[in-house]
A = this chain, B = another copy of it.
Amino acid sequence: MFENTEKTNLQELGEFGLISHLTKNFPLKRESTNKGIGDDAAVLDAGGKKILVSTDMLLEGIHFDLAYTPLKHLGYKAIQVNLSDIYAMNGIPEQVTVSIGLSSKFPLEAIEELYEGIYVACEKYNVDLVGGDTTSSKQGLVISVTVLGYADEKDVTYRNTAEEGDLICVSGDLGGAYMGLQLLEREKIVFLENPQIQPDLEGKDYIVERQLKPEARRDVIDLLKSRDIKPTSMIDVSDGLASEVLHICKQSDKGCNLYEEKIPIDPMTYETAREFGIDPTVCALSGGEDYELLFTIKQADYDKIKHDVDVSIIGYITEPAAGYNLVSKSGQVHTITAQGWNAFKG
């Protein structure tokens, strides 16, 4: 019988600490396994193209709040967050499996809405739903998605291959999804206190959409291919810029210099952060769920991309001894630490 006698707090370890603790003794035995745990996706080989596999689980009350998350958006987002992992390997996602656990509070019509969002995402990104599992749940809504993608060997892009002098680039803008979440949480509290008051999201569409309906950046992968750029390393921004840039640097055994003034932040994110008394740069560094791509390129590729407004060059890779530095707008140098979203915090 299971008894909770010994306790080591999971929060202390954090998600990455826990995964690496639990899996450190698992050897890789199969020739078909090129890369296991430790990147955005595993890389497998069955004799054809490289197979990229990634999986993400979304739990009610942890990753989403049905008080303000339409089920259609939730279905859409569950697919996007998985596709993003395949793009981050410079691959093309082609299949997903979706497992759902449902409590009895959900009628069929609610699940149809969820699948409508999954459908729209699959159609838009040209991905097939090929399997899954549907079961009742005593607990609330559980969504587990696995995505399969493919890439030629020469195209697969890892986290641990950044080189000194490479330029650090990020697509789109950062911190928006986090501020969208703050806004939704605030309006939820207002609504719970007085159900007559309708949510005030006027003029905040962009950041609310960043939170509820993110888009995986297939267009960035296409852009890089069309410019004949292969990133030297890449990761998707799911846990905040700080956490992701540290993954690239630590796994590549390098350092970095980032420039605060170069970090792309949308004006709406900036204004809303100010309104909430939050530093917009902190939103970009530590807010999660932007699902942009963070990647490094050779300096020689700079000319190919310098006019693309949707890609910002925010710094460069250094020797490891130089550390992980953020140069502030006032010229001060701060050490970057990962304070990204931690699923064990709450």
Contacts and interface: CB of A to CB of B under 8 A. Distances in A.
A30 B95 contact: yes
Contact of A122 (B26, B37, B94, B95): B26
Interface in A38-62: 41-42, 44-51, 53-57, 59-62
A142 interface: yes
Given A67-B1, A137-B139, A128 B29 contact: yes
The interface centre, meaning the residue of A32, A37, A140 with most chain B CB atoms within 10 A of its CB, is A32
Interface in A108-149: 108-112, 115, 119, 122, 126-140, 142, 144, 146, 148
Interface stretch (A12-20, A171-179, A218-226, A310-318): A12-20
B110 A4 contact: yes
A307 interface: no
A138 to B, nearest CB: 4
A106 B55 contact: no
Contact of A138 (B36, B37, B59, B108): B59
A150 B32 contact: yes
A62 B102 CA distance: 11
Contacts of A126: 29-30
Interface residues on A, range: 35 or more
A41 B150 CA distance: 19
A13 to B, nearest CB: 7
A165 interface: no
A343 interface: yes
B59 A139 contact: yes
A101 interface: yes
Contact of A136 (B30, B67, B346): B346
B55 A2 contact: no
Given A1-B67, A10-B102, A130-B36, A136 B46 contact: no
Contacts of A2: 66-67, 69-71, 110
